[in-house]
C-alpha cells in the first residue's frame, strides 16, 4: 500500500469553539469545555480537530476579526488552557489545526490602531489606504462581500481604508514585506508550540488589483437582492452568477497568491511531523504543482447544490480528480460554519434521516480527506432565528437593513435574514436532553439560542443509549473506514455511469479492492456488477444485512442503503 501520512488518512472534525462546550457556565463555549469533551471526540474516531478562530476578537465576525494572533480569547480561556487542550488532543492521538486569517485583522488590532493614527505612522502602509474620489466618495465602486462599499472613510486622516469583508475587518497590505514578516512570526509561535497545521481563511481575497480598476458588473448589490427574491429561470440565475463574478473580479484571485502560498508551504515544511495547510479557496490551483503550495484544498463545488444525486457526485469527482496535479490529495466536505447544516441543506424534507446517513457514507468513502462539521454526527439541523435581536451574524444584520431600506416589510426582511444568517448552523452543541441541551447550565442565556429539537433525541446523551442512533452510526462508519485500507488509499473508479438511482464505485489498492454502492433512491434496488466471478465480503452496511458473502452479479440494496463490500480476489490480478 502506498504509504500515506496522517492528514491523508484522518477524519477531520471542525469545532466551532463558541458553540461546542461551555465549561464555565457563561453561555459561551470555551477550552475547559473542549477539554472535557476530548474523550467524546476520540470515541467518535476523528483524527484531527480544526478550531474556528480561538483568538482575542471583538467578534464583529464571530472571531474572524482577530485582534491578537498569538493569544486566546479571554472568554475561551488562557494560553495555558489552550496548551492543555493541545496536549490532551495529542495524548489521545488527535491532531489540532488552527484557523489562520491572513486577509484582514480586526479594527481593534494594534497594527490597525497604529496604522489609522496618522498618515506617516510606520504601520500606515500595513493596510490599504486611499484618498477619496474627487467627489469625496470612495476611491472606486468595489463592494464588500458582506454588503455595501468595500471602503470606509476614516475621519482622523481623511482617507478611506479597504475591507473585502466587514468594515471592522480592514484588509492587510500583503505587498508590504513587514506584514508578511509579522504574520510568519505568529505562525511560528503556534508551530513551535506543536500545532499540527492551519486552515487558511479566505485566501482568494489576500491581494487586490493595485490599479483599483472599477468593476463592470451591470447590477448593484441591491438590484441583485431584488432579483434574488424573484423566481428566476436557469438563464437568469446563470446571468446573476456572471454579474456576481464580475462584481468581485478585481478583488479576488489576483497575482501574487501562489508565490505567497509557496513561501508559507516552505515555512511549514521546516517543521517536523508533517504539518498541514488546508485552503478555503475556490481554485484548485492552490495545490500548486501537487507538493509546493497547499496540502489540501476543500472540494467546495461538491457542496454547491441542494440535492446530492449520483450524477452530481460522479460529475464532481470526474472533474475534480482529473484536475488535481500529480501527487495532490483530495479533500471533501459537506458542511461548515458558513453554510446550512448538511441535514437541512441536502435533505428532501421526507427522508432526511436516511439521507443524512447516506451522505456521510459517501463523504467517508470517496477518495480523499473528509472534513466533518461539529454536530452533524447527532443530526443537528438549521435553526431559523425569529427575532432581529437574536442575530449574531452581522451579514444577516446587514441584509436585514438593506432589505428594509429597500421597502421590504420588516417581518419579511427578518425571514430573509434568518434564512441566510450563518447563525443557523452555529447554535450551541446539543449534549443532553436537559435545559440548554446540556451545553450551559439551566437558566443561563446562551450566546445563540439552543435548537429546541434537543428534546426530540437530537442530543449526545440520548443517542449514546441507542445502538441505532445517528451518533453510533457515525462511530461505526468512521471505525469501518479507518480499518479498510482501500477506502483510505485506493483509487476511485466509478461504475454504472448512467445510473440515477445509485452511486457505485470501486476503491482499489494493489492489495485490496472494495465496491461501494450508495442507494440514493427511496426504493430497493437490485443491481449487478461484473467482477469476473469474484464474491463480495460485506464490510459495512447502513442497514442490517446477513453476514454471508454477496454475489456482485445480483446485489440488492434497501432504500438509501450504503453498502461496502470487499471484492474477494480469485486470481492474482483484479482484472
Residue 425 or 437: which CB sits closer to ligand GLC?
Answer: 425
Q: How far is the CB of 165 from ligand GLC (least distance, A)?
A: 4
165 binds ligand GLC (CB under 6 A): yes
| Cβ 64 vs Cβ 162: under 8 Å | no
Q: How far is the CB of 102 from ligand GLC (least distance, A)?
A: 10
CA 70 from chain centre, in angstroms, equals 23
Question: Given 61, 75, 201, 377, which residue is catalytic?
Answer: 201
Q: How far is the CB of 170 from ligand GLC (least distance, A)?
A: 12
Residue 292 or 338: which CB sits closer to ligand GLC?
Answer: 338
201 binds ligand GLC (CB under 6 A): yes
Edge-first strand listing for the sheet containing 129-130: 129-130, 159-162, 151-154
Residue 99 or 566: which CB sits closer to ligand GLC?
Answer: 99
61 binds ligand GLC (CB under 6 A): yes
Rg of the chain in Å (alpha carbons): 24
**Cα dist. 388→412, 414, 416, 421 in Å?**
12, 7, 11, 11
Q: How far is the CB of 420 from ligand GLC (least distance, A)?
A: 13
Q: How far is the CB of 216 from ligand GLC (least distance, A)?
A: 25
User: Between residue 223 and residue 262, which ones bind ligand GLC under the rule CB under 6 A?
Assistant: none
Residue 202 or 356: which CB sits closer to ligand GLC?
Answer: 202
Residue 105 or 140: which CB sits closer to ligand GLC?
Answer: 105
Q: d(Cα 357, Cα 377) in Å, to the nearest integer?
A: 9
Residue 127 or 165: which CB sits closer to ligand GLC?
Answer: 165
Instruction: Annotate each residue in 508-547 with x if it binds ligand GLC (CB under 6 A) or - if it does not, as one string.
Output: ----------------------------------------
Instruction: Annotate each residue in 266-305 with x if it binds ligand GLC (CB under 6 A) or - if it does not, as one string.
Output: --------------x-------------------------
Distant-in-sequence, close-in-space partners of 28: CB < 8 Å, separation ≥ 6? 18, 22, 75, 76, 446, 447
Q: d(Cα 235, Cα 257) in Å, to the nearest integer?
A: 33
Query: Looking at residue 480, what DSSP letter applies?
Result: H
Helix (H) or strand (E) holding 297: strand 296-297
Query: Looking at residue 162, what DSSP letter applies?
Result: E
Question: Given 280, 499, 561, 566, which residue is catalytic?
Answer: 280
Q: Report the sign of the C-alpha dihedral through residues 29, 32, 34, 36, in that order.
A: negative
Cell reading at 24:
464555565
Determine which residue in the list 274, 338, 491, 549 makes contact with ligand GLC, applying CB under 6 A.
338
Q: How far is the CB of 70 from ligand GLC (least distance, A)?
A: 18
208 binds ligand GLC (CB under 6 A): no
Residue 112 or 165: which CB sits closer to ligand GLC?
Answer: 165
First to last CA, the chain: 18
Determine which residue in the list 202, 460, 484, 489 makes contact with ligand GLC, applying CB under 6 A.
202
Q: Among residues 375, 298, 397, which one has the least CA distance to residue 62?
A: 397
| Cβ 555 vs Cβ 569: under 8 Å | no
Q: How far is the CB of 522 from ligand GLC (least distance, A)?
A: 34
Determine which residue in the list 34, 101, 525, 534 makes contact with ligand GLC, applying CB under 6 A.
101
Q: d(Cα 220, Cα 506) in Å, to the nearest integer?
A: 47
Backbone phi and psi for residue 201, each to the nearest 5 degrees, phi listed first: -75, 135
Q: Among residues 485, 486, 502, which one has the least CA distance to residue 542?
A: 502
81 binds ligand GLC (CB under 6 A): no
Query: Looking at residue 250, what DSSP letter applies?
Result: T
Q: How far is the CB of 485 from ligand GLC (least distance, A)?
A: 33
Q: If binding means CB under 6 A, how many residues of this protein chain bind ligand GLC?
A: 9
**Active site annotation includes 201:** yes
Residue 223 or 338: which CB sits closer to ligand GLC?
Answer: 338
| Cβ 491 vs Cβ 324: under 8 Å | no
Q: d(Cα 28, Cα 36) in Å, to the nearest integer?
A: 15
Q: Among residues 141, 301, 117, which one has the least CA distance to residue 217?
A: 141
Nearest residue to the partner ligand GLC, using Cβ? 64
Q: What's the angle, vertex CA 410, arms to CA 405 and CA 413, rounded to 5?
A: 80
As annotated, the active-site residues are 201, 280
* Interface positions with ligand GLC (CB under 6 A): 61, 64, 101, 165, 201-202, 280, 337-338
Amino acid at each position: 500500500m502506498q504509504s500515506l501520512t496522517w492528514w491523508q488518512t484522518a477524519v477531520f472534525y471542525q469545532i466551532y469553539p463558541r458553540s461546542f462546550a461551555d465549561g464555565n457556565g457563561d453561555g459561551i463555549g470555551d477550552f475547559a469545555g473542549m477539554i472535557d469533551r476530548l474523550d467524546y471526540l476520540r470515541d467518535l474516531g476523528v483524527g484531527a480537530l480544526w478550531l474556528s478562530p480561538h483568538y482575542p476578537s471583538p467578534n464583529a465576525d464571530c472571531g474572524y476579526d482577530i485582534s491578537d494572533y498569538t493569544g486566546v480569547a479571554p472568554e475561551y480561556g488562557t494560553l495555558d488552557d489552550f496548551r492543555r487542550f493541545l496536549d490532551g488532543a495529542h495524548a489521545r492521538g488527535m491532531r489540532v489545526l488552527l484557523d489562520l486569517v491572513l486577509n484582514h485583522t480586526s479594527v481593534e488590532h494594534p497594527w490597525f490602531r497604529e496604522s489609522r493614527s496618522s498618515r506617516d505612522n510606520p504601520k500606515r502602509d500595513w493596510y490599504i489606504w486611499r484618498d477619496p474620489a474627487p467627489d469625496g466618495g470612495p476611491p472606486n465602486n468595489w463592494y464588500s462581500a458582506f454588503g455595501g462599499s468595500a471602503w470606509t472613510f476614516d475621519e482622523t486622516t481623511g482617507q478611506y481604508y479597504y475591507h473585502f469583508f466587514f468594515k471592522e475587518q480592514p484588509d492587510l497590505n500583503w505587498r508590504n514585506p513587514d506584514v508578511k514578516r509579522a504574520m510568519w512570526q505568529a505562525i511560528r509561535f503556534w508551530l513551535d508550540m506543536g500545532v499540527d497545521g492551519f486552515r487558511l481563511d479566505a485566501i482568494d481575497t489576500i491581494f487586490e488589483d493595485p490599479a483599483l480598476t472599477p468593476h463592470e458588473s451591470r447590477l448593484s448589490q441591491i438590484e441583485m437582492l431584488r432579483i434574488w427574491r424573484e423566481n428566476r429561470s436557469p438563464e437568469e440565475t446563470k446571468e446573476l452568477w456572471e454579474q456576481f463574478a464580475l462584481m468581485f473580479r478585481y478583488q479576488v484571485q489576483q497575482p501574487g497568491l501562489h508565490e505567497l502560498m509557496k513561501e508559507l508551504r516552505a515555512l511549514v515544511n521546516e517543521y517536523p511531523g508533517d504539518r498541514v495547510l488546508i485552503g478555503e479557496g475556490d481554485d484548485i490551483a492552490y495545490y500548486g504543482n501537487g507538493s509546493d503550495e497547499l496540502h489540501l484544498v476543500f472540494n467546495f463545488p461538491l457542496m454547491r447544490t441542494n440535492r446530492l444525486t449520483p450524477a452530481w457526485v460522479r460529475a464532481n469527482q470526474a472533474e475534480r480528480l482529473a484536475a488535481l496535479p500529480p501527487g495532490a490529495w483530495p479533500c471533501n466536505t459537506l458542511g461548515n460554519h458558513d453554510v446550512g447544516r448538511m441535514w437541512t441543506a441536502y435533505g428532501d424534507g421526507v427522508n432526511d434521516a436516511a439521507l443524512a446517513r447516506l451522505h456521510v457514507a459517501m463523504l467517508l468513502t470517496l477518495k480523499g480527506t473528509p472534513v466533518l462539521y461539529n454536530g452533524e454526527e447527532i443530526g443537528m439541523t438549521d435553526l431559523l432565528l425569529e427575532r432581529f435581536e437574536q442575530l449574531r451574524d452581522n451579514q444577516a444584520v446587514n441584509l436585514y437593513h438593506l432589505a428594509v431600506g429597500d421597502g421590504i416589510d420588516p417581518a419579511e426582511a427578518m425571514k430573509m435574514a434568518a434564512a441566510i444568517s450563518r447563525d443557523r448552523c452555529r447554535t450551541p452543541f446539543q449534549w443532553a436532553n436537559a435545559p440548554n441541551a446540556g451545553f450551559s447550565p439551566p437558566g443561563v442565556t446562551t450566546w445563540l439560542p439552543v435548537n429546541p429539537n434537543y428534546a426530540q433525541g437530537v442530543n449526545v446523551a440520548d443517542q449514546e443509549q441507542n445502538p441505532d442512533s445517528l451518533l453510533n452510526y457515525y462511530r461505526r462508519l468512521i471505525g469501518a473506514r479507518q480499518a479498510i485500507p482501500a477506502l483510505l488509499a485506493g483509487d476511485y473508479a466509478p461504475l454504472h455511469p448512467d445510473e440515477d438511482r445509485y452511486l457505485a464505485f470501486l476503491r482499489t489498492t494493489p492489495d485490496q479492492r472494495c465496491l461501494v454502492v450508495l442507494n440514493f433512491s427511496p426504493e430497493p434496488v437490485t443491481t449487478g456488477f461484473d467482477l469476473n466471478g469474484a464474491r463480495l465480503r460485506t464490510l459495512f452496511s447502513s442497514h442490517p444485512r446477513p453476514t454471508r458473502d454477496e454475489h456482485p452479479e445480483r446485489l440488492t440494496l434497501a432504500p438509501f442503503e450504503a453498502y461496502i463490500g470487499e471484492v474477494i480476489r480469485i486470481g492474482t490480478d483484479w482484472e
